Amino acid sequence: MQNPTSEQSAQRLTLHALNKSFGLVHVVKDLSLDIHPGEFLVLLGPSGCGKTTALRMIAGLETVDSGTITLGDEDITHSLPKYRDIAMVFQSYALYPHKTVFENMGFPLKVSGYSPDEVKEAVHETAAQVHMTDYLERYPRELSGGQRQRVALGRAMIRRPSAFLMDEPLSNLDAKLRGHMRAELKRMQHDLGTTTVYVTHDQIEAMTLAHRVAIMNHGVLQQLGTPAEVYDEPANLFVAGFMGSPPMNFVKGAVDNNRFTATGLALPVTQYTGGSEAILGFRPEDAEVVAADAGLFNAHVFTSEQTGEYTLVTLELNDDTVTIKMPREFNATIRDTVGVRFPVNKGFLFDATTGDRNTGQLS
């Protein structure tokens, strides 16, 4: 029998045209992904977008209506979960409350027929990796949320599966611990080199953890790319608005005679090919608040919030609001008229009807 802690080569995980419906609701629609060996891929999207259902199909916990799932060279589309070389970490941790940390972590090996000595060696090695060596005799009720999460990770890691699946594993932790565990997860996955699919609705987690991000909405893959690609080159309004905190600003208007116009705003446009109704987008961190009439357009100060790291200034522009990130020492007076300026090459144009990003550029 192979040593459970021996290294295994990373496996490619391929999803081809996956579909899943519950009754009349089509939850996952023609999802295709080629996940590279050793890659950390994040499935990102709002609640109900189909990302967890996709993960459960990979794990074998949900049946596939159509499409295929391949791990390495093996078609696992219809294999029982126990025959898939995959380990899953759940949001709820799913630890056995009556078993110690040692027993929880060693359970997958025990039921697979490893000897007590092999289990003991593997548990101690894995416990050291997740910093739980001093807690092996404790029960889950005696652990903090972060410690329970480490146990769940250790239990998944111990048999060195071909792939890890993680369903919002950090969502039950407080903000400080979530940041710490993000860093630990990233380091562990890098060191182990295991192909990993991670589900979250938190775009900060996606940006910090992923090699690539697959953004979903209403069961449809919206964009696949590196964190930088989906942030800097969003494919559509949904991706542009979902990525970023605060999200991208949007101003509704129209393009006519090579100009984008909204009330109080007119900007030259080149190479625009979409419909006449358009939406201008720009990131809060790319813009600045300046004196009235000194920017691209004027707006009224709705509120100003000092976060400690920076000041968030929310402005009213007709029926839209825009948010600007300013230095922490910046002060703005509510109801004042101010100007907004950003580099035109940092602006985006979207077709208001389709939501797709247009090739047009501000000039």
pLDDT at 1 over 50: no
Q: Return the pLDDT at 60.
A: 96
pLDDT at position 323 = 97
- 15-19, 78-82, 84-88, 91-95 — which is least confidently predicted? 91-95
pLDDT of 93: 76
Mean pLDDT computed over 348-353: 95
Where in the chain are the domains?
Answer: 13-237, 247-362
Mean pLDDT of the region 33-49: 96
What confidence score (pLDDT) does residue 4 get? 57
Q: What angle do CA 363, 347, 209 make, to 5 degrees?
A: 145
Structure confidence at residue 23 (pLDDT): 95
The pLDDT score that the predictor gives to residue 188 is: 84
- Residue 254's pLDDT is 94
Give the rounded percent of residues in the chain with a pLDDT score beyond 90: 74
pLDDT of residue 319: 86
* 334-361 mean pLDDT: 94
CB neighbour burial string for 9-30, b if at least 16 within 10 angstroms, e if fewer: ebbbbbbeebbbeeeeebbbbe
Query: What residues form DSSP beta bridges with 200?
Result: 44
- Mean pLDDT in residue range 67-89: 94
Q: What is the pLDDT of residues 160-183, one digit of tens each?
A: 889 999 998 888 777 887 888 888
| 195-200, strands of its sheet edge to edge | 86-89, 163-167, 195-200, 40-44, 212-217, 220-225
Residue 112 — pLDDT band, cuts 50, 70, 90?
confident
SS (H, E, C) 312-342: EEEEEECCEEEEEEEECCCCCCCCCEEEEEC
Taking Cα atoms as reference points, which of 119, 160, 125, 158 lies closest to residue 8? 160
pTM recorded for the entire structure: 0.88
Each residue's pLDDT tens digit, 133-142: 999 999 999 9
- Range of 96-105, 168-177, 185-194, 269-278 with top mean pLDDT: 96-105
Percentage of the chain lying above the pLDDT 70 cut? 98
Q: Tell me, what DSSP letter sits at residue 344?
A: G
Q: Which CATH topology does 247-362 take?
A: OB fold (Dihydrolipoamide Acetyltransferase, E2P) (2.40.50)
Q: What pLDDT is recorded for position 33?
A: 98
Bigger pLDDT: 82 vs 280: 280
Nearest CA among 39, 69, 40 for reference residue 54: 69
Show Cβ contacts of residue 163 under 8 Å, excluding neighbours closer than 6 positions: 11, 13, 58, 71, 85, 86, 87, 194, 195, 196, 197
Residue 17: phi, psi to the nearest 5? 50, 50
* H helical segments located in 174-333: 175-192, 203-209, 227-232, 237-242
**What is the CATH T-level fold of the domain 13-237, as seen in this structure?**
Rossmann fold (3.40.50)
Q: What is the pLDDT of residue 138?
A: 96
pLDDT of residue 235: 97
Return the pLDDT at 5: 52
Residue 3 is predicted with a pLDDT of: 56
Q: How would residue 184 be classed by pLDDT, with cut points 50, 70 and 90?
A: confident
Q: What is the chain's mean pLDDT, rounded?
A: 92
Q: What is the pLDDT, as a whole number, of residue 283?
A: 97
pLDDT value, residue 53: 97
